[in-house]
Structure 1
Amino acid sequence: KEKTHFDTDKRIKFVGTVYDKDLLKYIRENAYGYIHGHSVGGTNPSLLEALADTKLNLLYGVGFNKEVGEDGALYWSKTPGFLKDLLEKADKLTPKQIDNLSKKAKQRVIDEYSWKKIVDEYEAQFLGSR
Structure 2
Amino acid sequence: MSPTSTTTLTGHGVWQPALLTLVAKVCSDAAAAGRPVGVCGEAAADPLLAPVLAGLGVSSLSMAAPAVADVHDALARLTLEQFRSLAAAALGATAPAAARGTVHRTGEAFRAAADDGKGC
Query: TM-score, normalised to structure 2's length?
Result: 0.38
Structure with the larger RCO, 1 or 2 (CA within 8 Å, 6+ apart): 2
Which of these two proteins has the greater Rg computed from alpha carbons?
1
